[in-house]
Amino acid sequence: MKRLEGKVSLITGAAQGIGEATALKFAREGAIVVVCDVQQAGIDKVVAQCEAAGAQAVGYVMDVTDREQVESVVAQVKERFGRIDALINNAGITQDARLQKMTLAQFDRVIDVNLRGVFHCAQTVADVMVAQGSGSIVNASSVVGIYGNFGQTNYAATKFGVIGFTKTWSRELGAKGVRVNAVAPGFITTPMVKAMPENVLQSMEAKVPLKRLGEPEEIANVYAFLASDEASYINGAVISVDGGMTI
């Protein structure tokens, strides 16, 4: 029996990086994978990869900041499959600048995607999960959401906020059969990180006791565990997946 056999799993930001790795992990674990992103080409690619792995997969263009679009996608998934078992709130962006240099547009955009977008998806999916009496919501936080980071006022605020969401929703929804947890990745080799200068990458590695950056699959593995019945008594947790860099 595969870990996520038959679980209808909606993943945001699933067209690349950690989201793509998560979709493929869920596919290999037997989930019905719902690939959501803003890029149609990326969605099509990941859906095809999931199907090649033997999974049933569908894709939807969904901007998490657009409440009507989120509600429409959730309604379509519910209509098609009858339920939603897991929501992986993975979509996120960065627009970095020091406090004194950050524009209001930069601040607002990151808050809109990383905080308001998580709220839109969770609130819409929670209604489905509560009605069916079960479900798992997994939110993407960050080590930056625990310790802060230079030049990331907006990003840190959202990832701290996601932890607040997680703690609150786990209290509200737990009695209704819905678990809510968060994952706080460290430095992960996403396309965005790989594009950084070599000396920056080396300095990042030096901060990690394991002396390497994490792979997207290593985050996906934890998402899959938290979405599975193996994590049936884990609720309200924030799991750091960072190679020990925050010890």
pLDDT digits (tens, 9 = 90+) for 111-166: 999 999 999 999 999 999 999 999 999 999 999 999 999 999 999 999 999 999 99
Look up the CATH number of the domain holding residue 170: 3.40.50.720
Helix (H, G, I), strand (E, B) or coil at 135: strand
pLDDT digits (tens, 9 = 90+) for 20-30: 999 999 999 99
Residue 183 located in a structural domain:
yes
Q: How many domains does the chain have?
A: 1
Residue 101 located in a structural domain:
yes
Residue 243 located in a structural domain:
no
Residue 142 located in a structural domain:
yes
Catalytic (active-site) positions = 155
Do the beta carbons of residue 188 and residue 219 sit within 8 Å? yes
pLDDT digits (tens, 9 = 90+) for 214-237: 999 999 999 999 999 999 999 999
Q: What is the mean pLDDT of the chain?
A: 97
Q: Which helix (H) or strand (E) segment is 22 a member of?
A: helix 17-28
> In 3D, which of 143, 139, 140, 141 has the Cα closest to residue 208?
143
Residue 82 located in a structural domain:
yes
Q: How many Cα atoms occupy the beta-carbon half-sphere of 195 within 13 Å?
A: 4
Residue 159 located in a structural domain:
yes
Q: Which domain holds residue 200?
A: 8-238
Residue 108 located in a structural domain:
yes
Residue 244 located in a structural domain:
no
